[in-house]
Structure 1
Amino acid sequence: MAVAPVVKRKRGSPSESFHEGVTLSTKVQIPDDFSSRAAGWNLEQDYEQRPRKQRKKEKENTRLPIKTAEGRIEQFNDPLAGNEDEGSWPSSEDGGDPEQVPDSVKEEAKVPIRQQIIEAKEELARIASLINEDPEEHAGGFRTLGQIAASPNPTIKRLALATQLAVYKDAIPGYRIRPIAEQDQTEKVSKDVRRLRAFEQTLVSCYQGYIKDLAICAKPTKDQQSEAMASVTKVAISCACALLLAVPHFNFRGELLKILIAKLSSSKVDANFVKCREAVESLFRSDEDGTWSLDAISLVTRMMRARHYQVDESVLNTFLHLRLLTEFSSKASQNRVDKPAKDGFIGGKKSKFKKEFRTKKQRKMMKERKDVEKEFEEADAIVSHEQRDRMQSETLKLVFVTYFRILKDRIPNLMGAVLEGLVKYAHLINQDFFGDLLEALKDLILDAETLFDHEEEGQEQGEDMLSKSDRDATREALLCITTAFTLLEGQDAARSATALNLDLTFFTSHLYKSLYDLCLNPELELSSRSLRLPDPHSPPNTSTPITTPKVNLRTTAVLLLRALTAILTPRAVPPVRLAAFTKQLCTSSLQLPEKSTLAMLSLLNNVIKIHGRKLASLWNTEERKGDGDFDALRGDFESSNPFASTIWEGELLKLHFAPGVRQGAKGVEQLIDGIK
């Protein structure tokens, strides 16, 4: 084995400065073994292997350039790329404490509220514009808007809620999105279908979170008295109303209805209450297939039953805006709906008809034609009449259940609204239910008479009862009479009278007795919207409440004219009833206001055109048919002997201060002269 040659090393000599600094006293004897080992040192190799301090090279940016929303192309720089080896807290070498943040950093973190609002506006506008350009591409913007809406700042929250409303109204499709089944998730679909599914699921989840946020903001809280929180509540209710009217077909319609109906259950009628009520009424008017109305009516009736019908009457008047009042043709009660007989069916049995012979080819062609027509209906989303009738039938039953329950419980503040609603729905009420309904109306009139007697007494006991009940007895009685005759008008009168033995004499007699009191009513032509002042002649210590009509659709004069028209205009009216009412109306016209007097003379014109020969003797003293005296204050019109009197009031009406009344009285006499 060959021996490696010894490397010859150059020995360095000490410098002169070293020799000069060394004295004899400091010289030390160097041992020989140290000299022998030092001769083998490789100083150059040691220097080469010694670690050196160098500056770190900047890492090369390998990211691609990006295009900003403004259209500029910029190189993306990661601010954390150069600080990978350094901690996020100051090191101990710099004298910093990792558990303390410098005051300068804290001051930079505090942004003024005005600046926060400006930045939020810009961010909301940017995200909304991106979603508006391509909702499927920027579906993550829905979640970002929800995060901004979670801000504790009321101003930013209002802006975020309003922005989400505008974005969802534009992005929501015209169909309802159903959840994807497990079977559909496993099957292979195209890229476009997968992208559309992802967008729909993101939209539904974010939309659900938005509605939950609206429900939370719409609820009254302890801070509701503050203006900021009240403004957030107002914006939330406005957004819920706008969403319900804009996209009622989409998911979570029931959640939106719950927000509105929860506000309608409040006893305080404010701007938010009115807005929710108008939204529900608009929903009823725009519903075509009856599904939306059925959902809303179900929630409203459930809410009223839970509150024991202690709600405002305007909530009950929303039933008058349902489309089934003009579109539904069947008759119903609170338990069932009578379906009309279908074509080819008589009495529930299929009628006999001659079967047409068709060949096998013709039957095959007819079957294919039916399948094609069915596909066309599904493609065009045509609402079938059977589906609409089924929805409207369920809605009508819920309406009648509510009306009849209120009649049974005698809720004072809702009686007028219920009676007005029954007048509207009279043509849809089943004949089998007439007897029970008329008995309930009679009981209401008897209660109204009792209350009216206490009003006339004027004693302290009567005044206390009036203040506690807060009911308009005269108006309720008129509504009951109008309802009873309207129910009979909406049916076959002959069939109803013979089958049910209906007797409306009680209602006719009550109206005859109350004519004089009605003509002296100072609020005869006033509605609930008319301004009212307290009576100046009342004692100053008494605080009698001003009773206003509970139904704001018609005045008392209009209700009186409708009841009189229902009693006097039919063909089969006894002459004694006609004469008694005509005499009372002419006497009452002397005390009525000008407009009511004109309306009463117009009614007399119509009655004379129909029953002129029966009433002609009242204008001629020589043709009087009755003997004795006429008793105007007798409650029974049949025994008041009306043909023993004459219509002398016409001479006073021809001297009336209003020209229209004078001409109307002359016109009545001209009609009588023409009949003679």
Structure 2
Amino acid sequence: MAIARASKRRRISPPESPLSTQPLLYDGLASRASGWNLEQQYEQRPREQKKVSESTRLPIKTAEGRIERLASPESEQETVESSFGSDGEDASDTQETEVEERSVEIPVRQQVIEAKEELARIGTLLGENPEEHIGGFRKIAEIGASPNATVKQLALATQLAVYKDIIPGYRIRPLGELDSSEKVSKEVRKLRSFEQALVTNYQNYIKEVAKCAKSSGDSSSGDKASIATVAISCACTLLLAVPHFNFRSELIQILVDKLSTRNRDGDFVKCLETLEKLFREDDDGNPSLDGVTQLSKLIKARDYRIDESVLNTFLHLRLLSEFSSRGSQNRIDKTDSTDARKVKFKKEFRTKKYRKILKERKAVEKEFQEADAIVSHEERDRLQAETLKIVFVTYFRILKTRVPNLTGAVLEGLAKYAHLINQDFFGDLLETLKGVISSASFEDSTPGEPEDDTQDVPENPTSQHDPLRSTLLSTTTAFTLLEGQDAARSASALHLDLSFFTTHLYKTLHSFALNPDIELSSKTLRLPDPHAPSSQPTTTTNNKVNLKTPSVLLLRALSSILLPRSVPPLRVAAFVKQLSICSLHLPEKSAQAVLGLLLQVMKVHGRKVAALWNTEERKGDGVFDALRGDVEGSNPFASTVWEGELLRCHYVPAVREAVKGMERLVREIK
């Protein structure tokens, strides 16, 4: 069967398009289609998509312990975009507002933790390699500018620890024009750049510490007071750790400013102890000179209205034990010694080349000494001489001004420095001491007069002086001035008369014997007298001059008067009789001390006063007058030491033994 062939389909034409009826328009579109940019039109077409906002907030820790990251609210972004346009100022204001909002939203505890971590990281980098991370000082200072008080304290303490570790053992001098223009190696240039950057940042740190320390003692603001305490502690630590480095005067000024205040708090005591330790451990002499100079200016600027403990810091200077010359308020006398003579050496032949080498070697050694801050003995003596002159000027001004609360401290200081005082200064000083004793005697003789209400009330009533104590200190100072020297030659050459001090002490022996506080010092703990007037301070608060009791000062003064071998017999006999009477009224320890002094007097002047123990060997006629002001005119040989019979019955065994030993010595002399 043959296969049938498929019929051929006829092609049907498509329907006519409207364009076909307009051949001219179709031709125009086809010719313009090649210039169309369809991709640009698609790119500029608006799109609808969800905006994804990136959170700029720090993660927080919730109360349950989970750490969550907060997303920025879309409403805030829409408000900011609608309120501000594309202006640059509006954008910057927006960023500042967002930063402030973020800083406020961060909890205080989280800020402190983050500051600790950042400070620890920067401090570690600076400790490992400070030359490569010198910018860390600026970053720590920026962290310290935080309004948070805790963060500021942490920044100050961190800078203190870093500077203590990296400050070199020498003083960095500023670079001059010659140093900047000369050619140096890369290592030297790098080291100079680091040193100058270190000094600049250190100076800024000292300024910040001084600014913070001004709020010390301000009870109205707790945060400022706590920051000031940390700042003062940093200044004290730096002054003791690196006293050789730059800006030492600025550190001392911070401490001196605190000592000028009336509030004696913990910061005041810390500054005081720091200066005392600085004076004791000063091997150079420059720190002590700076400290004494600034303290002297402070005392004069405050018109001597300071705490006496500030003046007592002079007693911790090393020149008390090291300085050998003598001085006054305007000059220093060098001691002539045989060591100053030049020792003659045999001249050694040296070639010109060898002399040149020695000269260069000396120049190099001198540079090394300057770099190592080695101070020669001559330079240290010069610095200590300047310090001593400033101390004497301050003491003499206070004595001339007659400041009551500082008189005792000045007298104690002069007694300490007596071996360093020039003999030409003795005359003026003794006249001043006589004036102090006269004024003290006048105050003691008129205790019952009512005080004038118009007088100024002292700033620190607890530091008012005791007239009897001032008398003892003046007498002790006057006799200490001649100790360690040729007293006879000095007195004859300068026409010094110490009889005024001897007579005044003789007249006040009975007052000291009847003083109930003769064995009490400023450190003695006891209850105040309930019968004392409320308007007058008790005796315990008066004893603020030094730590020595009046009994100790009395024995020192008596030893200076009675123990020298050139004392006349009448003076020795008068004092022996008066002290025997006073020992009946003294407390047991003071009575033992007085009898011990009499035993020493008997060993030195036994033959002069042995007649006082024997009624058959009386050398004088008349009656003994114990209240007579004149020592030699009291007629002591007209009496006997009958007080020994009463002291034999004393309730203290040591007193009874002392009396028996003294009488045994008298029998041996005969």
Q: Compute the TM-score of the two structures, normalised by the length of structure 1.
A: 0.83
* Preserved CA contact (<8 Å) 1:587 1:649: yes
Q: CA deviation at 1:225?
A: 2.1
* 2:322 equivalent in structure 1: 327
Aligned partner letter, 1:142: F
* 2:203 equivalent in structure 1: 208
- 1:470-509 superposed matches below 5 A: 470-509=464-503
- 1:438-453 superposed matches below 5 A: 438-453=430-445
Q: CA deviation at 1:436?
A: 1.2
2:220 is aligned with 1:225: yes
| Separation in 2, partners of 1:104, 1:231 | 31
Aligned partner letter, 2:266: A
Aligned partner letter, 1:361: R
Q: 1:265 aligns with which of 260, 266, 270?
A: 260
Aligned partner letter, 2:440: A
* 2:390 equivalent in structure 1: 398
Is there any run of 5+ residues in structure 2 with no aligned partner, and where?
1-11, 45-75
| Separation in 1, partners of 2:549, 2:338 | 44
Q: 2:507 aligns with which of 508, 513, 533?
A: 513
Q: CA deviation at 1:466?
A: 12
Map Cα deviations across residues 339-360 of structure 1 (whole Å, 9 max, x no partner): 22365879xxxx9x9x877464
* 2:71 equivalent in structure 1: none
Map Cα deviations across residues 303-362 of structure 1 (whole Å, 9 max, x no partner): 11111111111111111111111111111111111122365879xxxx9x9x87746438
| Aligned-partner SS, 2:525 | coil
2:107 is aligned with 1:112: yes
Q: 1:460 aligns with which of 427, 438, 450?
A: 450
Aligned partner letter, 2:501: F
- 1:591-630 superposed matches below 5 A: 591-630=585-624
- 1:405-444 superposed matches below 5 A: 405-444=397-436
2:379 is aligned with 1:387: yes
* 1:567 equivalent in structure 2: 561
Q: 2:296 aligns with which of 285, 301, 306?
A: 301
Aligned partner letter, 1:460: P
2:159 is aligned with 1:174: no
* 2:193 equivalent in structure 1: 198
Aligned partner letter, 2:108: I
* 1:668 equivalent in structure 2: 662
Which has the larger displacement, 89-98 or 370-379?
89-98
Change (3 A) 1:114 1:498: same
Q: CA deviation at 1:462?
A: 9.4
Q: 1:361 aligns with which of 347, 350, 358?
A: 350
Change (3 A) 1:35 1:638: closer
Q: CA deviation at 1:674?
A: 2.1
| Separation in 2, partners of 1:39, 1:373 | 103
* 1:153 equivalent in structure 2: 148
Change (3 A) 1:467 1:257: closer
Q: CA deviation at 1:655?
A: 1.5
Identical amino acids, percent of aligned pairs: 57
| Separation in 2, partners of 1:523, 1:544 | 16
Q: 2:270 aligns with which of 275, 283, 288?
A: 275
Q: Across the two proteins, how many residue pairs are aligned to each other? A: 612
Map Cα deviations across residues 131-186 of structure 1 (whole Å, 9 max, x no partner): 11111122111111111111111111111111111111001111111122233233
Q: CA deviation at 1:549?
A: 2.1
Q: CA deviation at 1:379?
A: 2.9
Map Cα deviations across residues 269-326 of structure 1 (whole Å, 9 max, x no partner): 1111111111111111111121111111111111111111111111111111111111
| Separation in 1, partners of 2:456, 2:178 | 68
| Aligned-partner SS, 1:488 | coil
* 2:139 equivalent in structure 1: 144
Change (3 A) 1:15 1:207: farther
Aligned partner letter, 1:285: R
| Separation in 1, partners of 2:547, 2:532 | 29
Which has the larger displacement, 241-250 or 337-346?
337-346
Is there any run of 5+ residues in structure 1 with no aligned partner, and where?
1-12, 20-26, 55-88
| Separation in 2, partners of 1:32, 1:396 | 122
Q: CA deviation at 1:605?
A: 1.5
* Preserved CA contact (<8 Å) 2:216 2:229: no
* Preserved CA contact (<8 Å) 2:465 2:545: no
Q: CA deviation at 1:365?
A: 6.1
Which has the larger displacement, 241-250 or 589-598?
589-598
* Preserved CA contact (<8 Å) 1:577 1:638: yes
Aligned partner letter, 1:379: F
| Separation in 2, partners of 1:345, 1:195 | 47
Change (3 A) 1:29 1:537: closer
Q: CA deviation at 1:514?
A: 0.3
* Preserved CA contact (<8 Å) 1:467 1:544: no
* Preserved CA contact (<8 Å) 1:426 1:490: no
Which has the larger displacement, 657-666 or 152-161?
657-666
Q: CA deviation at 1:622?
A: 2.2
* Preserved CA contact (<8 Å) 1:90 1:97: no
Q: 2:581 aligns with which of 584, 587, 597?
A: 587
2:513 is aligned with 1:544: no
Q: CA deviation at 1:536?
A: 3.2
- 1:71-82 superposed matches below 5 A: none
* Preserved CA contact (<8 Å) 1:240 1:259: yes
